[in-house]
Structure 1
Amino acid sequence: MAKPHLLYTKPTEAQGTYKQPARNPGNQPEDKPEPNYGPMQDDFRKYLSAFQAARMHRHQARSLQVPAHLDYIRITFFDVFDNAGFEARYRDKFGLVAVQVDHFGRRVLFAIQSESRFRTFLHTLQAFVDTISPWGDLSNPDRDILFIKEFELLTTVDILPNIDEPSDVLLSLVEKQLEINTSFVEIQRALFSYLDSQSIDYESIPENNTIQLWNVALEQLRELADNFDILYSVYPNSLGLVSPGRFGTATRSFGFTANLPPDNAPIIGVIDTGISDQTPLADLIINSQENDPYDLTGTNSRVDNWDKTWGHGTGVAGIAAFGEKLYPAARGAIQADAWLLSIKVLDDRVSRVSDRAIRKAIMRAYHELGVRIFTLTISERIKNDNETVSALAYMLDVLACECDLDILICIASGNMRREIIDLNTNTCLPYPNHFIHADNNIHVPAESMNNLTVGATANNLNPTLQVAGLANDVSFPAVFTTKCHVDFDTSGLTQNQRNKQFGKPDILYYGGDHERNGEKQVTGISVLTPKIGQYWMKETGTSYATPFVANLAARILSAYPKLSMQTVKALIINSASLPRLDNTFAALPKSLLNRVLGKGTPDASKCLSSTDHQVTIILEDSIVPEHIGTYTLKFPGYLQKSGRATGLLAFHATLCFKFRPIQHRQSTYCPVHIAFGIFKNKPLDEINGKGMGPIRDEKTKEVIEKGYKLREPWSQDPYYRGKLLCNTQKVSFVVGKKDILNEDFTFKVAVNSKLNKLLTAAQKAAYATTVEFSLVIRIEERPYKNQYIGSLYNGLKVENDLQVLTTLDADLEAEAESEL
């Protein structure tokens, strides 16, 4: 029987300074051979020559009168560049100021701030190259340059890729560091003057350190890249939709009407192509008819004429409002779960709107209308393998944290850009081997870490479907869904620097599938369309998986309106489970599957309510970096009577928090680490710093067969420098009755926090502030011979003095209270 979730309200039992346990470095060779620097000398000789030639060519190519100039050297190191230890040294010693870090901290773009000190750098390199035998008479070789693998000048070719003209583009600017601020401001002022003189339409967006240009010619872009030395990259800048073919299903009418939700029901902001009011959604749309500030295209946010026929935002909005109630067929009056706000950012008759306009619309919707849930199902380009976070994703992450907005943006991961796979002709790799291609990476801005990214399964919610399409099962990932662009297997990171928690998409949801001939008339999912006489059409895409999740978030907020959106995110991810894949996936490495599947597909019932034997406990609290705290979790005594000895309780725990990101620094983009663990009933001193093993049932064969993960002490380990930190973590494990009895029916939940080890002293000072987090722990009692002997829900509530979450369903809450 459904019951409200429970809230842990007690403060931390014990607090202290977090101590990281020492790590065993492994066996080290006793005698290291003398290094052979000959190959490095040859490389440096080549790099020096190329650098000098490229610098001379760049200076000669400058054709405009610009009041200041900056040159940049891009250095790749053999290992992670330690910002905290080396950044000041490179600045003071060599006149180099770091303005961007990528390749997981191994590659740094430096601005040459002091020409005289930079000559010291060049002279040091030249002295090394000119030494007849390695180091010769140099008694004190400069160890800093031995850390360098390669270096090059940042040139126009690096800044400006192949771009069609005329184009809408995004100019990404270097980080405006204090040491180059004067030159930066002078160059930026000259850049704006040039754009004005050329009548180029542009908008500067300081919030993500970019400038957006519209309808600019390639020759003008070359002139910009040649002369204005604050640009480090130029990208095509077009929002778009990807749908490889559309097939309608003729119907006589929409077939349903909408029952309006309560006035205080959540509002979902649909950032898309508009929502047609010539559909049953009309009365759900809260946009004004005139002077609508959420129509960013000037084409009417209540009109959806994308591609002149089929629309896109309308289909997304229908799912967001009703979720699974529209399936398998919409009939009669259907209760809507949310109101709809159309934030129209795309129309095929106008240019792409600016990132700043999108930012302002989201902020306005939050502050003026209380909108906390958004869908973003349009995207930019495909992300390259191991690429840094895009400007748009950065802006969305900042919105969720720095601007103090308690919001959650459900972002579509994007659809593949390869041709639909034809198994009959085998024109390209068959499903699912096609996922290996970089063309199937997620799209900008799906890498946003403070928000929720959604991929798709093949399910189209037709229970009678006999043809599963390309996927052998509807629970499998859809052919078009996209994978995380971060590939640790090709990153060059050591095993200790990789993070198994890191990845996008976060989850998958229903998006339909393609048939073997590439069509989707049977296997596609039915969506609303504003096309006259069409009403419904068969479609596929992560665009339609995403609003299902927004609808689920709205239903959670309706039940528990006081929860933070990070808790809503944690509830959704916590309920997810991975599909049991068949042998068609056998050839794919597990690391690739993790990049495709995320945490799996959510279970709506587990998101929304607990039961007598499956209980969700929510802990919303905060922690200061470099600290640790513990919470006591007690279990009811009736468990000792259970006939089940092993695997008695299954735990699923998820942690989410939002952070203020650091732009241009891939290795420190997430500057704060928070992790959790569930431990034996020990005091804080025994948990802290000693790496004590967690509760685990590791000898149970059943555990392995069920696929439960055996817990490591902490959900995430920040010990090794250069490790990408993740703000979304999930673990699952089981414990046996013996573990419960040995610990006197009591476990300890511990949460620790640290700052990223690569932060500078100034950055550490800026981030040494309280961070809020949400921890969701779902505990499932597993019966003995299908028999339960008590209520885990009631027992946990009484033993821990847990609070029943306030819900809008008074009957549900009253029923839960009456049973205690």
Structure 2
Amino acid sequence: MKKPHVLLNTRIQKNDSVKMKYNYGFGDDKKDKEENEKPDDYVRIGQNLQRSYTKFNADRAQRTARRSVYLEVPLHVDFIRINFFGQFAVHDYFGRWYQEFGLEAVEVTNFGTSVLFAVTDNNIDKFNAFLTAVDSVIRNGQDHQGRKYPKLIHYIQDFELLTSEDIIKTDVTADVFILKIADLMVHNRELETLIQSLEDYLNTQGIAYIKNKEIGIIEIYNTEAFNLEDIIDNFDIFLQVTSGRATIIRPNAFNAPDRDYGFEIAAVDNLPLVGVIDSGVDDRTPLAPLIVLDEDLNLTTTSVREDNVDRGRGHGTAVAALVALGGEAVSREYRGILAPHCRLLPIKIIDSDNAAISISRTLELLTIAKQKYPQIKIFTLTINFHQSKKFNEHYSSYAYALDKFSFENDCLIFISTGNNSDAIFRTNEAYDTAYFAEEEANLCSPAESLNNVTVGACSDSLGVGGHIGIANGPEYPTIYSRTGHYQHELLKGRAKVNKTLFKPDLVMAGGDYCYERGWLTDIGEGSMLLLSADPTESFYRLFGTSFATPLAANVAVQIQKHYPNVSASSIKALMLNHCSDKTIDDLIRDKQMLVGHGCLHTERAIYSDSDMINFIVEDTIDNGDLKVIPLNFPKYLVTDDLKKRNRILGVTATISYQFLPIRESQLGYCPVLIAFGFFKNHEGAGIVIKEKDNKSKLKSGPLWSQNSRFKQKPNPFSNTQKLSFVVNVDELLDERGIFKIGVHCFTHPQLRPGEDTAYQKDNRFSIAIAIEETLKKPTGKLYDEMLAINEIENILSADQDLEAEA
């Protein structure tokens, strides 16, 4: 029988907090430092720097020659990218590099081993000292004369000037250019002067643009008066130029109509509202009663009630149907009376197949939507930038903007990985997961977003009958789905690898290619039945991550409907806690980069039952603290004859939290670590004692869901982590039926000075904990017994009655 999840009342059920310290040491800083340093091989170092020095001087001379005297730019900045042998200790060396060489660290990439520095005209003398030191290293490598220079140079593998060619990462014919602004902390006044000079120039030329300082971008609309190379050659404030070109999956042009609309929407009160960021939602379909029309949420010249892409078949309409009606509508082939799970708020950002996206204007619509409809918590976004991400590439401005929005508004945006329509032609028209190792198979921005939920597609089409797609099974990732862009083998040193940091977060049914009459097709029974915006067509068949994504959002909105007051992080934690990849048993290499946490068990994410209870923890924690939360287990587990003593319970727990990202640090993009673990029945003071002295660890395996014990070479942090273990009778006896959940918090040790200020107090987090009997014949007692001995709060909506619903 369906039963509601429960909120653990940690205001009452808690132990005293203590200051956290790792009870197995905080990293061997001396050894770590030695690994960062390279032997004094002066010849090799000199040869490396000789190549860099020669090219740098040539590039610098060329950049100076390309500057226009007619633009009268008030000052200039050189950006120098330095690649280090190991991680650059930003926190320790930010000030020293500036004092010594006039170099201000402005962007940290390649997970801490590459740093982009800025030097202004005012610090040219100090920078010349840097070049002199490099020259001394080169000469020492040639003649071994032992010239003196700052030893900081020894950490440099190579360096280069950031040229216009490095900055411009798109074709110059784009409709919208997105220019990423450097974040200068020390030279902020000089930055403002350059931005004002640029704005004066753009206004004089009549060039349309949007400046968004919060995201750190300027978007410029292409006109005859606009010359991209002139801007980048002369205004030294930009780190990257990309295109706003978007991509959506388009159905086969020869797909035949399926049949008339044959369903109705049931009348249901008090439905949540979901924002569909797409091409509009057509109100000539049966979805009309669910649509909230608001033309303020429109970037196009056509109405939000029209969905005109792909010759009128639409895209947003199919997405909206899936988020409102869920997978059941597809399985029932949209017949009869269908109960909706939400109302629909169209947020229209495109109205053509080859549109461009403005990050600033899209974010403005999201802000308006949240202001006008404060109850909205769930959004879908299935339109990605066209270009896939490079291996280990930094977070995009788009992902940053959405992460910031979700953190500030307690929202979840369900984002597709993007579709790789070329994949099938690169695999001899067969299913071959080896293709996912290619860089072009990587996800498209903003799917790398961490505060939101990234969704890939598995082969399931939700049709009746067996699996039809070309993948090895319905749970396997489809060949068109995209993979996470982290490539750990390319990183320098193992310390930067974080196995809890991956994308996508999960996979949902998206349909697949199949063979019909010996031919491969994308519109056969392996694809998904979708609602068309064209009433003369009604339905069509296709597949894509665009359709997997709203199915995930549908589960989220069902959770919101039942438990309206839980946070966005709790919804995410519940969903990921009930994902599994166990049936995908022959994808060993980088499986999580293909399927994330796996396929979602929908009902378990929404409901508990007599033999499985879901606890939710929602709390805050300060930097440096360890919180301890007791979890009580009922006596019947040790007193009743359960027919076995080992593995009587399974426990799975997932932590999720949202954060305000650090824009210019790939290593510290997630600036705060909140990790958890399960411990014996010890107080906080006992947990932080060295493990060999107190043995607080409950199980074999990692002590914490994620650690940050290395200060010299820290990992990037993940804001989602998961643990699973089994419980034996003897463990319950030994701990008197009480386990302790430990939660600790640290800010990233490699942030620039002052960047950790916002993360010292009240960092919010959620934990979803599923506890289930694993007996051959379950007792039916677990849920009620756990409820009776733990402090819980009711989180059902006021009109909810799950037993009546069941």
Q: TM-score, normalised by structure 2?
A: 0.93
The equivalent position to 1:220 in structure 2, one of 194, 207, 227, is 227
The 8 Å contact of residues 299 and 347 in structure 1, kept in 2 or not, is answered as yes
The equivalent position to 1:578 in structure 2, one of 574, 581, 587, is 581
Residue 123 in 1 paired to residue 132 in 2? yes
Give the distance between the partners of 1:481 and 1:689, measured in 2 at CA: 46
Give the distance between the partners of 1:33 and 1:77, measured in 2 at CA: 10
Give the distance between the partners of 1:52 and 1:728, measured in 2 at CA: 45
Tell me the equivalent position of 1:749.
Answer: 741
Give the distance between the partners of 2:217 and 2:673, measured in 1 at CA: 28
Code of the residue aligned with 2:379 in structure 1: it is F
Tell me the equivalent position of 2:275.
Answer: 269
How far did 1:261 drift? 2.7
The equivalent position to 2:607 in structure 1, one of 606, 609, 616, is 609
Residue 194 in 1 paired to residue 193 in 2? no
Taking a change above 3 Å as real, the CA distance of residues 24 and 386 of structure 1, as seen in their structure-2 partners, is closer
How far did 1:808 drift? 4.8
Taking a change above 3 Å as real, the CA distance of residues 545 and 246 of structure 1, as seen in their structure-2 partners, is farther
The 8 Å contact of residues 647 and 697 in structure 1, kept in 2 or not, is answered as no
How far did 1:324 drift? 1.9
Tell me the equivalent position of 1:375.
Answer: 380
Tell me the equivalent position of 1:413.
Answer: 417
Give the distance between the partners of 1:396 and 1:795, measured in 2 at CA: 42
Residue 155 in 1 paired to residue 163 in 2? yes
Tell me the equivalent position of 2:708.
Answer: 718
Counterparts of residues 400-479 of structure 1 (less than 5 Å)? 400-401=406-407, 404-421=408-425, 426=428, 430-465=431-466, 468-479=468-479
Counterparts of residues 147-296 of structure 1 (less than 5 Å)? 147-161=155-169, 163-165=171-173, 167-177=175-185, 179-216=186-223, 220-243=227-250, 245=252, 248-262=255-269, 264-288=270-294, 292-296=295-299
The 8 Å contact of residues 284 and 535 in structure 2, kept in 1 or not, is answered as no
Taking a change above 3 Å as real, the CA distance of residues 194 and 327 of structure 1, as seen in their structure-2 partners, is same
How far did 1:159 drift? 1.1
Code of the residue aligned with 2:21 in structure 1: it is K
Residue 142 in 1 paired to residue 150 in 2? yes
Residue 777 of structure 1: SS of its match in structure 2?
A: strand
Code of the residue aligned with 1:450 in structure 2: it is N
Give the distance between the partners of 1:726 and 1:660, measured in 2 at CA: 13
Residues 96-116 of structure 1: per-residue CA shift (max 9 Å, x gap): 011111111111111113111
Residues 76-107 of structure 1: per-residue CA shift (max 9 Å, x gap): 11111111100100011110011111111111
The 8 Å contact of residues 397 and 450 in structure 1, kept in 2 or not, is answered as yes
Counterparts of residues 285-364 of structure 1 (less than 5 Å)? 285-288=291-294, 292-328=295-331, 329-348=333-352, 352-364=356-368
Taking a change above 3 Å as real, the CA distance of residues 246 and 774 of structure 1, as seen in their structure-2 partners, is farther
How far did 1:398 drift? 0.8
Tell me the equivalent position of 2:41.
Answer: 36
Residue 666 of structure 1: SS of its match in structure 2?
A: coil
Taking a change above 3 Å as real, the CA distance of residues 550 and 688 of structure 1, as seen in their structure-2 partners, is same
Supply the RMSD in Å over aligned alpha carbons: 2.5
The 8 Å contact of residues 559 and 809 in structure 1, kept in 2 or not, is answered as no
Taking a change above 3 Å as real, the CA distance of residues 651 and 694 of structure 1, as seen in their structure-2 partners, is farther
Give the distance between the partners of 1:441 and 1:261, measured in 2 at CA: 40
Tell me the equivalent position of 2:628.
Answer: 630
Code of the residue aligned with 1:317 in structure 2: it is A
The equivalent position to 1:397 in structure 2, one of 394, 400, 403, is 403
Give the distance between the partners of 2:272 and 2:525, measured in 1 at CA: 33
Give the distance between the partners of 2:802 and 2:55, measured in 1 at CA: 72
Give the distance between the partners of 1:355 and 1:729, measured in 2 at CA: 29
Q: TM-score, normalised by structure 1?
A: 0.91
The 8 Å contact of residues 9 and 803 in structure 1, kept in 2 or not, is answered as yes
Residues 250-289 of structure 1: per-residue CA shift (max 9 Å, x gap): 3331110111331x3100100000000010011110114x
Give the distance between the partners of 1:232 and 1:273, measured in 2 at CA: 31
Give the distance between the partners of 1:93 and 1:33, measured in 2 at CA: 21
Bigger Cα displacement from structure 2, 533-542 vs 321-330: 321-330
Give the distance between the partners of 1:791 and 1:495, measured in 2 at CA: 46
Code of the residue aligned with 2:510 in structure 1: it is G
Taking a change above 3 Å as real, the CA distance of residues 18 and 422 of structure 1, as seen in their structure-2 partners, is closer
Identity of aligned residues (%): 32
Code of the residue aligned with 2:232 in structure 1: it is A
How far did 1:405 drift? 0.7
Q: Which runs of 5+ in 1 are unaligned?
A: 699-710
Tell me the equivalent position of 1:665.
Answer: 665
Bigger Cα displacement from structure 2, 356-365 vs 54-63: 356-365
Tell me the equivalent position of 1:801.
Answer: 791
Residue 22 in 1 paired to residue 40 in 2? no
How far did 1:750 drift? 0.5
The 8 Å contact of residues 249 and 546 in structure 2, kept in 1 or not, is answered as no
Taking a change above 3 Å as real, the CA distance of residues 321 and 34 of structure 1, as seen in their structure-2 partners, is closer
Residue 384 of structure 2: SS of its match in structure 1?
A: coil
Give the distance between the partners of 2:535 and 2:802, measured in 1 at CA: 43
Taking a change above 3 Å as real, the CA distance of residues 687 and 695 of structure 1, as seen in their structure-2 partners, is closer
Equivalent residue pairs, number: 784
The 8 Å contact of residues 421 and 430 in structure 1, kept in 2 or not, is answered as no
Code of the residue aligned with 1:62 in structure 2: it is R
Code of the residue aligned with 1:362 in structure 2: it is L
Taking a change above 3 Å as real, the CA distance of residues 486 and 694 of structure 1, as seen in their structure-2 partners, is farther
Give the distance between the partners of 1:24 and 1:357, measured in 2 at CA: 45
Taking a change above 3 Å as real, the CA distance of residues 556 and 543 of structure 1, as seen in their structure-2 partners, is same
Residues 461-503 of structure 1: per-residue CA shift (max 9 Å, x gap): 112145x2211211111121111111112222x3333111101
Give the distance between the partners of 1:121 and 1:614, measured in 2 at CA: 64
Bigger Cα displacement from structure 2, 226-235 vs 205-214: 205-214
The 8 Å contact of residues 165 and 216 in structure 1, kept in 2 or not, is answered as no
Residues 641-671 of structure 1: per-residue CA shift (max 9 Å, x gap): 3222221111110101110111021011111
Taking a change above 3 Å as real, the CA distance of residues 40 and 244 of structure 1, as seen in their structure-2 partners, is farther
How far did 1:600 drift? 0.8
The 8 Å contact of residues 243 and 540 in structure 1, kept in 2 or not, is answered as no
Tell me the equivalent position of 1:674.
Answer: 674
Code of the residue aligned with 2:277 in structure 1: it is I
Taking a change above 3 Å as real, the CA distance of residues 102 and 422 of structure 1, as seen in their structure-2 partners, is closer
Code of the residue aligned with 1:636 in structure 2: it is P
Give the distance between the partners of 1:762 and 1:645, measured in 2 at CA: 53
Give the distance between the partners of 2:646 and 2:168, measured in 1 at CA: 61
Give the distance between the partners of 2:353 and 2:365, measured in 1 at CA: 20
How far did 1:430 drift? 4.4
